[in-house]
A = this chain, B = another copy of it.
């Protein structure tokens, strides 16, 4: 039903051989301008669309890619929605442009389906290291974020979270704060490791004791509140909080409101990733714009290159993040 016209139809209509059609359409071979135009015209007129599967079969290539989102179990954790949507959308769009369909691979997906569906490779978003698609040495895998404790030879696209963390912490200092705390989760993902590592280093450099709060379980706003409370009871009391998920920043705001702590006067707040939610709180929250669409795009491009055996110059892509300053870190008291 979906697929109707084939190159045969075009060949007949244009009165040439299917080879000529193929060449004309793909810009291969030496075909006179006139013929090429004519063939293309006919193809257009007939609404021709190449069948990628057939092409893939002929070429021994693959036409689909798999995506798996790390740490997403059946009972979903609640990570930063907007980030994933943007990333996935962009990755899919790019893949489609390059002639690949991006297939959703749920957490439990057996790596075997990669073969069934002629999937050429996989993207694993924010891997924890447990994902089935990771152990898959038949096909190339690109991760978004690095595999925690993984071997050095993987292909990945990532922000420089160490630099980002530094940028946020320095921003706290520039706005008159000196004792930032870190609010994070127990997720085993590289951005968490990076943030913690850099935060710790930054503190040590300044002879400050690191103040790290960890949410266990689901990182909802509500779950953040008690941990924030705990952080704020430390002495010396932190005057800023950097959170490792956007929703946790919301939780921090709530906790402050409950305790009568003024933001940004008494406490500065910044989040590792920006979202619409952070824009519409009171006060709006400063955050890193991780550039999720760019991450998705680059991941798709990298994977396609790998699948095609192009052996890309760089299998490690760093996507720049930029700090979006909002009221939650206005100059403090």
Residues of chain A whose beta carbon lies under 8 Å from any beta carbon of chain B = 1-4, 49-54, 56-57, 62-64, 67, 72, 74-76, 78, 81-82, 85-86, 88-90, 92-93, 96, 99, 101-109, 112-121, 138-140, 218, 220-223, 250, 254, 257-258, 275-277, 280-282, 293
- Set of chain B residues within 8 Å of A105, measured between Cβ atoms: 92, 96
Contact for A276 among B78, B90, B118, CB less than 8 A:
B78
Roughly how many angstroms separate A106 CA and B115 CA in the complex, as a whole number?
Answer: 25
13 A–B contact pairs at CB < 8 A?
A2-B62, A3-B115, A50-B116, A52-B117, A52-B118, A53-B53, A53-B63, A64-B101, A78-B276, A89-B104, A93-B109, A101-B117, A102-B104
Roughly how many angstroms separate A81 CA and B83 CA in the complex, as a whole number?
Answer: 11
Asked whether A101 lies within 8 Å of B81 as measured between CB atoms, the reply is no
Count of this chain's copies in the oligomeric assembly: 2
- Set of chain B residues within 8 Å of A106, measured between Cβ atoms: 89-90, 92-93, 96
Asked whether B86 lies within 8 Å of A101 as measured between CB atoms, the reply is no
Interchain nearest-CB distance for A87 vs B (Å): 11
- Set of chain B residues within 8 Å of A117, measured between Cβ atoms: 52-53, 63-64, 96, 101
Q: A92-B103, A104-B102, A117-B52 are in contact. Are A280 and B2 (CB under 8 A)?
A: no
- Set of chain B residues within 8 Å of A114, measured between Cβ atoms: 2
Contact for A118 among B3, B140, B250, CB less than 8 A:
B3
Q: A49-B112, A222-B282 are in contact. Are A82 and B88 (CB under 8 A)?
A: no
Roughly how many angstroms separate A237 CA and B282 CA in the complex, as a whole number?
Answer: 26
